Amino acid sequence: MSSPHETQTTEPPGSPPVHWAMERALALAAGTAPHPNPRVGAVVVAPDGSVVAEHAHAGPGTPHAEAAAVGAAGDAARGATVYVTLEPCAHQGKTPPCTEQLMAAEVGAVVIGAADPDPRVNGRGIANLRDAGIEVTMSDATMAERLDPGYFHHRRTGRPRVTLKIAATIDGQVAAADATSQWITSPGARADGHRLRAATDAVLVGAGTLRDDDPELTVRLEGYTGRQPLPVVVAGAQPLPIDRKLYGRDPLIYVPALAGNPPAGATTVSAAGAAEVDLEMMLTDLGRRGVVDLLVEGGPTMAAALLAAGYVDCLIVYLGAKVAGGLGRGMFDARFPTLSAVRDVIITDVRRLGPDLRLDIELGAME
């Protein structure tokens, strides 16, 4: 394969230039869904600057990106530079250590996007390569982490990255007083919400949403053939409805100690608490099950509980082009006692979706 134009970009301001081959590796990985493994792309560049192989990791049990790339390159990998978005692993898992395969291929150098926070790697891959005499250079870790923020969060905390999705009127109402809410937003915004589901590992709702909306929690996009996210329900002390659409999808239901009998066709997990599920226990259990990115579509009660506990990492708000002009149900079932109780956030993106707006918001850790 011939080399693309060698351009460099700077992101964010003040960061070192990113080589075109690393940009290509990032682009290769961007469209993949390998969780609980990380999104990783790799490009093998010969000494003359030509690309001799490239690959992205497809998922658990399949070759890692850099191993597949040097394997495809064959003899052309000798003396080449491998650009890989994440530190190569140095341990035996479902596949052999990538560091050993890079050494066996006799590559000349490895450029790494970010160190791997997984405790089984965490610098060992870099050290092993350097001990073998292979030159290792670090690229811009910000871009590599932005590629798969859920993976980095999961490996650092043991919990999935939690994205809270809310659809509301311009004046912040998510439902009317009679609990009706379909539809506050336009078809374009709702389709965008389905793209969010397609990019996540699991979708969570509370018992109230299950009762009021009977959601399917599936990706319903024209032509979509990818995997469906795991449906997750957080139950309360009251019995859950007997007949709901998602019961046929083997949902994961977290129940407190005083919950009634679970519905048929569901996997039930006790998450302590007498009348309420212990949120930390639930999120830790989801992390153990390989859920890296969690999308929460529950109502105001669930949203308020997760926000108050400090477990919301990202907030995506769809503001429908509607004004309620009265008290229905706000975004959060919680009192706002005083201005000093507010939390500062970072609005990372605002875009129009037909008549509606989408706001992407990052929440820092609670003090």
* Whole-number Å distance between alpha carbons of 147 and 160: 16
CA distance 234 to 286: 12
Contacts of 271 (CB under 8 A, 6+ apart): 254, 255, 256, 277, 278, 281, 282, 285
Residues facing residue 202 across a β-bridge: 230, 294
Cβ neighbours of residue 312 under 8 Å, at least 6 residues apart? 162, 163, 164, 296, 303, 306, 363
Residue with tokens 């798969």: 148
DSSP per residue over 14-42, as a string?
TSPPBPHHHHHHHHHHHT---TTSPP-EE
* DSSP character string of 270-296: E---SSS--HHHHHHHHHHTT--EEEE
Whole-number Cα distances in Å, 172 to 113, 134, 210, 328, 332: 40, 56, 21, 9, 9
**What distance in Å separates the CA atoms of residue 349 and residue 361, rounded to the nearest whole number?**
7
Annotated active-site residue in 66, 87, 145, 297: 66
Q: Is the peptide bond before 149 cis (omega within 30 degrees of 0)?
A: no
Let me know how many helices (H) and strands (E) the chain has, helices first: 10, 16
- Would residue 66 show up in a list of annotated catalytic residues for this protein? yes
Query: What residue type is assigned to position 31 of the chain?
Result: G
Q: Which residues of 46-66 are buried (b: 16+ CB within 10 A; e: fewer)?
A: beeeebbbbbbbeeeeebbbb
Please state, in angstroms and as integers, the Cα–Cα distance from residue 125 to each residue in 109, 116, 204, 222, 270, following that order.
Answer: 13, 9, 35, 42, 38
* Gap between the Cα atoms of 150 and 131, Å rounded: 31
Q: Do residues 130 and 90 make contact, with C-beta atoms less than 8 angstroms apart?
A: no
* Enzyme catalytic residues: 66
